Amino acid sequence: MSLLRVEGLKKAFGGLLAVDDVNLEIQAGEMSSIIGPNGAGKTTFFNLVTGYLSKDSGRVFFKGDDISRLSPPQICHQGIGRAFQVSNLFPRFTAFDNVQVALMMHKRMALDFFSNARKLLRPETLKILEEVGLADQAHLLSKSLAHGDQKRLDIAIALASEPELLMLDEPTAGMNPKESFKIMDLVAGIARARGMTVVFIEHDMDIVFSISERIRVMHMGRLFAAGKPEEIRENREVKQIYLGESE
């Protein structure tokens, strides 16, 4: 059974069909990417699946359950984690606090009014910071971290909710190629270690083709092609609409 199944997903902004009848299935354990030119509807697709935007039509199933009508916090608790294109942190708090609070929410402590939060889940928090390589910067305010480290922290926050499916929206945005590969290797390693399914949006073709087990191409809101990297590489239409433009 597929982990995520999307059926007939549609979303229009005014007259523009941002996501147009997308159907896809993501298998558990898969490392896949979504590519496509700017404005193809990739981020909108993420926003629809994670409940941030309402769907015009279509349904989303996660582990067989219909999650189409759930809110972002409910979907988070179902096991879908998300990191953002522009780092989306709690800026005036330390890296440690950022992850710790996400862990608390995952453990459903949101309505615990009297425990001393500072003392909760410290080893677990540190473990996640170690996983993404931020342990030695745990005490720094998240807004004073370097750009690449902010992206790592963004991923760490998503990891705190122990997602079965991690959706990364351009995890390498704004990084140099060396950093980009480092962070994607890190993600791949964590995914293997945790048995986590990952789907990421990416523009860097070297990364896409070297890391994805499966690639989906979006173009003008539609899912244009899907397949293994070698299939996508050979697909003439994909080359025309996408690779042709960037090469």
The residue among 120 and 188 lying less far from other proteins, judged by its C-beta, is: 120
CA–CA separation, 202 vs 192, rounded Å? 19
Q: C-beta of 91: minimal distance to other proteins in Å?
A: 6
Sheet (strand 214-219) strand order: 80-83, 165-169, 197-201, 31-35, 214-219, 222-227
CA 235 to chain centre: 26
For other proteins, the closer of residues 19 and 160 by Cβ is 160
Q: In what order do the strands lie in the sheet with 16-26?
A: 16-26, 4-13, 57-62, 65-66
Judged by DSSP in three states, 101 sits in helix
Candidates 12, 25, 37, 90; binder of other proteins (CB under 8 A) is 90
| Angle, helix 95-106 to helix 122-131, in steps of 10 degrees | 120
For other proteins, the closer of residues 116 and 247 by Cβ is: 116
CB 142 within 8 A of CB 98: yes
Using CB under 8 A, which residues numbered 156 to 215 contact other proteins?
157-158, 160-161
Cα torsion 132, 134, 138, 141: sign = negative
Q: Which stretch binds other proteins (CB under 8 A): 5-13, 99-107, 191-199, 203-211?
A: 99-107
Q: Does 77 bind other proteins (CB under 8 A)?
A: yes
- 13's tokens: 């902004």
Contacts (CB under 8 A) with other proteins, residues 53-72: 71-72
Among 82, 152, 214, 216, binds other proteins (CB under 8 A): 82
Choose which of 1, 113, 195, 247 interacts with other proteins (CB under 8 A): 113
Q: Minimum distance between the CB of residue 156 and other proteins, rounded to whole angstroms?
A: 11
Residues that bind other proteins (CB under 8 A): 50, 52, 71-73, 76-77, 82, 84, 88-94, 97, 100-102, 104-106, 108-118, 120, 140-141, 144, 157-158, 160-161
